[in-house]
Chains A and B, each alone.
Chain A
Amino acid sequence: MRKRFKEKRRIVIKVGTSSLSYKNGRMNFQRIAKLAYVLSALRSRNLEIILVSSGAIGVGAGRIGMLDKPRELAKKQALAAIGQAELMRIYQKFFEEYNQIVAQVLLTKDIMTVPARHENAKNTLLKLLSMGIIPIINENDTISTFEIEFGDNDTLSANVATLVSADLLILLSDIDGLYSADPKKQTNAEIIRSVDKITPELEKLATGTSASFSTGGMVTKIAAAKICLDAQIDTLITNGNDPSVIFDILEGKEIGTHFVANNNELIYKN
């Protein structure tokens, strides 16, 4: 089943705040540098890469020396406006080390509902990919309050994968994958390596996991995988501690949880 990863050409990679920062909320430059290296290396192999990156609010808070993240919506939006500029500056810096041009694309939920928006976003992203550029996508939090409160970049990344007809969505977070039980409570909990259908039981399993201090948690990752499965796009959930895990994934190594799209082999077996 993992052989198919060697064939992937157009890949959407989503990194969460937890992959970009330390637990104290400050930026993990080493990790961002590594991510820039890995993605630039993939570009050298002529793969098409889209990065969906969270982190703007946290970076904004750091920029103005705010220690605790605010709860008030307008404050979060203001921090997002400060932090998004800063985040892009940091990405540009690291990607420039590898002579890789990046672009910033800020999207709102209406890309999936307003046809003109949908077309514009799709055309721009495909154009950027054809030029060898890595688009870095985030939600346009300044104008869309809904996303900050209820949304997450997991869903956004799945929508982007659908928008550009990607071959693969990789969700990098602070958990190794989907577990058979909450690994913090049960020692015999095991990673589920492969999922070909999202059942109510599976969704229930996701709500039980405690690793959910970022916006998304496992529930939104399952929802993202569901969007991709419906669009016949493979999804992989794994830990983003070491971004070079992406190399291993693309070599077909048994890493994380694979939500298997268009899985003819399994259907025949059953």
Chain B
Amino acid sequence: MCESRIVVRIEISTLSSADGKFNHQKMDRLAMVLSNLNNSGKQLIVVSSGAIALGIDKLKLARQLQSYTDMQAAAAIGQAELIRFYQHYFDQYNQIVAQVLLTGDIMDNPIRVKNTQNTFDELLNMNIIPIVNENDTVSTEDIELDDNYPLALNVAKITRADIILIKMDTNSTFIIQPRDSAMAKLVHDETSLLKEIESSCREIKETGREEFTFPSAIGEISFN
């Protein structure tokens, strides 16, 4: 079994139905797949959106919010809800999770990067899956970007991850991006996912290359 560290990027679409409502079945499936991956010896860090959408649901607000402040308030309510759901479903698979909220400027502060890196290392060594999100209450960067790939990329850099699971749609699509390859791999079922992660991991270990060639933006992913 090849040991590797994987950042898993979860978008709100990963956790919701076509109508935009939170989908518990999907989250349960996700918790199972990830707990299973963790049991197989992989270290996982989840970067998850969904706080704002859950906050809106909880408050029964209209989908089109007016201002950043509305969205920040929704995020404060929804983040509590989101992390509760993560705990609830991972509990079913006896997997402990932790919550880490970061701001977009984390990379500007080397001390903060080091602290955060130590925290992640500590959690991963305890076999805990950190669930990371943007701290929307004190920053609007992630809200403005409306895409959590930059955060996932930062987390991958901080934790020196080997792989980013760029897409994690448990029903159909998985995109695996190894750190030393310009090419991402696209698979369509869980068995292939595990197989491809394993082979990517071996390739990384064999070449022994240290470079990070993760795409700098989601639009720059290319496939074999």
Asked if residues A127 and B137 are in contact (CB atoms below 8 Å), the reply is: no
Known: A78-B98, A142-B116, A144-B115. A120 touches B123 (CB 8 A): no
Q: Counting CB contacts under 8 A, is B37 at the interface?
A: no
Chain A neighbourhood of B122, CB < 8 A: 74-75, 77-78
Asked if residues A124 and B116 are in contact (CB atoms below 8 Å), the reply is: no
Q: Counting CB contacts under 8 A, is B189 at the interface?
A: no
Asked if residues B126 and A78 are in contact (CB atoms below 8 Å), the reply is: yes
The residue in chain A whose Cβ has the minimal distance to the Cβ of B72 is A124
Asked if residues B138 and A101 are in contact (CB atoms below 8 Å), the reply is: no
Q: A60, A75, A124: which contacts B73 (Cβ < 8 A)?
A: A124
Asked if residues A124 and B76 are in contact (CB atoms below 8 Å), the reply is: yes
Chain B neighbourhood of A74, CB < 8 A: 115, 118-119, 121-122
Known: A78-B126, A81-B119, A105-B137. A142 touches B76 (CB 8 A): no
Chain B neighbourhood of A180, CB < 8 A: none
The count of chain A contact residues (Cβ–Cβ below 8 Å) is 42
Q: Counting CB contacts under 8 A, is B70 at the interface?
A: yes
Q: B58, B69, B86, B121: which contacts A123 (Cβ < 8 A)?
A: B69
Shortest C-beta distance, B99 to chain A (Å), equals: 4
Chain B neighbourhood of A105, CB < 8 A: 76, 137
Asked if residues B139 and A101 are in contact (CB atoms below 8 Å), the reply is: no
Shortest C-beta distance, A177 to chain B (Å), equals: 32
Shortest C-beta distance, B125 to chain A (Å), equals: 9
A-B Cβ contacts below 8 A, count: 131
Complex CA–CA separation, A151 to B206 (angstroms):
46
Per-residue 0/1 for B91-107: is the Cβ within 8 Å of any A Cβ (1 yes, 0 no)?
A: 00000111111110010
Asked if residues B73 and A103 are in contact (CB atoms below 8 Å), the reply is: yes
Within 8 A of A (CB), among B43-76: 55, 58-59, 68-70, 72-73, 76
Query: Which of B5-13, B17-25, B26-34, B77-85 lies at the binding interface?
Result: B77-85
Query: Which of A31-39, A86-94, A192-200 lies at the binding interface?
Result: A86-94
Asked if residues A82 and B76 are in contact (CB atoms below 8 Å), the reply is: no
Chain A neighbourhood of B87, CB < 8 A: 85-86, 89
Chain B neighbourhood of A88, CB < 8 A: 80, 83-84, 99
Query: Can you list 9 contacts pairing A with B, beta carbon distance less than 8 Å?
Result: A73-B118, A74-B118, A77-B118, A81-B100, A84-B99, A101-B58, A117-B139, A133-B73, A142-B116
Q: Which 5 pairs from chain A and chain B are nearest by CB? A: A81-B98, A103-B76, A78-B122, A74-B118, A127-B73
